[in-house]
Amino acid sequence: MTTNEPSLGTAYNPFDRHLENPYSFYTQLRHEEPITFSPCINAYLVSRYDDIRSILSQPDIFLSRDTLTPGITMYPRTIAELSKGCPFVPIVVNADGANHTRLREPLQKMFAPTRIRTMEPFIRQIATRLVDGFINDGHAEIISQLAYPLPLAVVLTVLGVPQKDMQEIRRLCDDWNALILSPLPEERQVAHAQSLVALHHYIAQLIEQRRSSPQEDGITDLLDAHMPGEEPLSQEELVHTIGGVIIAGYATTTNLIGNGLVLLLEEPTRWQTLCEHADHIPLAIEEILRYHDPVPGLTRTTTREVTVGGVVMPAGTKLFLLYSAGNRDETQFPCADQFDMQRKPNRHLAFGYGDHFCIGAPLARLEGRIAFETLTQRLPAMQLVPNQKLSHIPNLIHYGYQRVEVQW
Ligand code: HEM
C-alpha cells in the first residue's frame, strides 16, 4: 500500500469524526485494513490485538521516543514561547533502553503496590469528603466534583505538591495536555504554551524548596533517587518527570471514573448490581477499562526496516497503536462489543503491555474501586440527568467526557 491510495486510514479523524464513538470504525479497521496509514496523525494505525501486543513486546525495534510528540504541528510563536520553559528531555514514558530503566526505577518505588495499599484509608477519606460536598444538593457534575479532584489530590499528596494549588495545577496540566495532543488555533496554542512554561517554573520552585529543606515526600525522594552506578535525575528530568506524573496520575483516572459512571448509569441494572454487590466492582473496573479505554492509543517509532502485518516500514516510521481497538478485538474477547461486568479473563491493553506497562495501575485500580464503592454505597439512587448531551474532549491519547451531570 502507498500513502496515496484512498484508505480507511485517510478517513481517520480522532478529533472530530471518530471522537464520540470510534468503535464501529475500529471494527472496520481490524477487519479490512489492520495496518493503514493515517495522514491526520502521520502514522500507521495498528488495530489488531495480536499486532499491538507483538509490537509492545519488541521495544528495541519499536521505540517510545515520539509518544509525547505524536504529530501535532506547533506554530513558530508556540515554539518561541516554549523556549522560555525547561528544555525538553525524555521522561519515563518517552525514553528507551537503559535510560528508560533508569527513569522508571524511582517511580516504580514511589508507586509500588505495597506502598499503594497503605493509602486506602487516606483515599477513602478524600472520596468521602468530596461526596459530602455535594450529597445534599440532589445533583452534581461528576467530572469536576469527584472524577478529577480525587486522583489529583492523591497524586499531589504522594509527590508533596501543596493541595491549595490544585485548581491552578489542573488548569496548567489540561492546557499542556491539549497543547501536545489536540490541534489548536494559533492563539490558543501560544496561550497553552505559556501555561506549560508556568508549570515548569512552578515545579522548579518546588524542587528548589526541597533541595534546601527536604521533606518526607515524593519530590524529595526523587532528588537523589538513582540506581547504583547511574546518574541521579537532572534538573530538567525532575521538572518533566514531576509534571508527567501529575498528568498521568489524574487525567487517566478521571476518565476511568467518568467513563465508568456513564456505562454503569446508562443501564440502571448495572448500577443496581454494584449497589447490591460491592465485591463485583473490581471486575467491573477491568471491563470499563477495556470497553472505554481512557488511553485509546500511543505512538511507537521503528528503529529499522520492519514488516508489520505484511506492510514494509522503513526505519523512522511512526505507528499509532490503537489500544482501544485491540480491546474490542473479537479474536481475544468473545462478544467484544458487549459490556460484560463479569468478563474473565480480561487481558485488556488499557495499561499497555511490556516494558512500559503503567506504573500507576495499582493506584488507578484502587482509586476507581474506592470511587465506585463510595458512590454506590452513599448514592444508590444516582442516575444520569436525562437528555444531556455527553461529549468527549478532543485529545489523541485521552478518551473522556467534558461533563457528566448526575442526579438522585
Ligand atoms: C485508569 C488509569 C490509567 C490508565 C488507563 C493508564 C494507562 C497507561 C498506559 C497505557 C501506559 C503505557 C504507556 C506506553 O505503552 O507507552 C501507562 C504508563 C504509565 N503510567 Fe499510567 N495509566 C493510568 C493511571 C496512572 C496513574 C494513576 C499513574 C501515576 C500516578 C500512572 C503513571 C504512569 C507512568 C509513570 C507510566 C510510564 C511507564 C513507562 O513508560 O515505563 N498511570 N499508563
Report which ligand 1 atom has the smallest distance to the Cα of 353: 15
Nearest to 346 by CA among 288, 304, 392: 288
Residues contacting residue 309 through CB under 8 Å, at least 6 positions apart: 34, 35, 46, 48, 51
In 200-354, DSSP assigns E strands to 298-302, 306-308, 311-313, 318-321
Rounded to an integer, what distance in angstroms lies between the CA atom of residue 205 and that of residue 322?
A: 37
* CA 76 to ligand 1 centroid distance, Å: 31
Whole-number pLDDT of residue 2: 47
Provide the pLDDT for residue 178: 87
pLDDT at 20: 87
pLDDT at 1: 47
How many Å apart are CA 199 and CA 217, to the nearest integer? 19
Q: What is the residue with the minimal CA distance to atom 19 of ligand 1?
A: 358
Nearest-10 crossing angle of helices 120-134, 149-159: 140
Mutate to test the pocket of ligand 1, among 63, 67, 323, 358 (most ligand atoms within 8 A of CB): 358
Minimum CA distance residue for ligand 1 atom 32: 360
What pLDDT score was predicted for residue 4? 54
Residues in contact with ligand 1 by the CB-under-6-Å rule are: 64, 67, 92-93, 104, 107, 111, 155, 245, 248-249, 252-253, 256, 294-295, 298, 350-352, 356, 358-360, 363-364
Grid coordinates of 39: 495522514
Strand, helix or coil for residue 344: coil
Q: Give the position, in ligand 1's atom list, of the atom nearest the Cα of 300.
A: 16
Q: Tens of pLDDT along the chain (408 residues)? A: 444 556 999 999 888 888 889 999 999 999 999 999 999 899 999 999 999 999 999 999 999 999 887 667 889 999 999 999 999 899 999 999 999 999 999 999 999 999 999 999 999 999 999 999 999 999 999 999 999 999 999 999 999 999 999 999 999 999 988 888 888 899 999 999 999 999 999 999 999 999 999 999 999 999 988 778 888 999 999 999 999 999 999 999 999 999 999 999 999 999 999 999 999 999 999 999 999 999 999 999 999 999 998 999 999 999 999 999 999 999 999 999 999 999 999 999 999 999 999 999 999 999 999 999 999 999 999 999 999 999 999 888 999 999 999 999
Q: Which of 55, 400, 46 is nearest to 255 (CA)?
A: 400
Q: What local confidence, expressed as pLDDT, does residue 345 receive?
A: 97
pLDDT at 70: 63
Domains and CATH numbers, the chain: 8-407 (1.10.630.10)
- Before 268, cis peptide (omega within 30)? no
Nearest CA to ligand 1 atom 42: 360
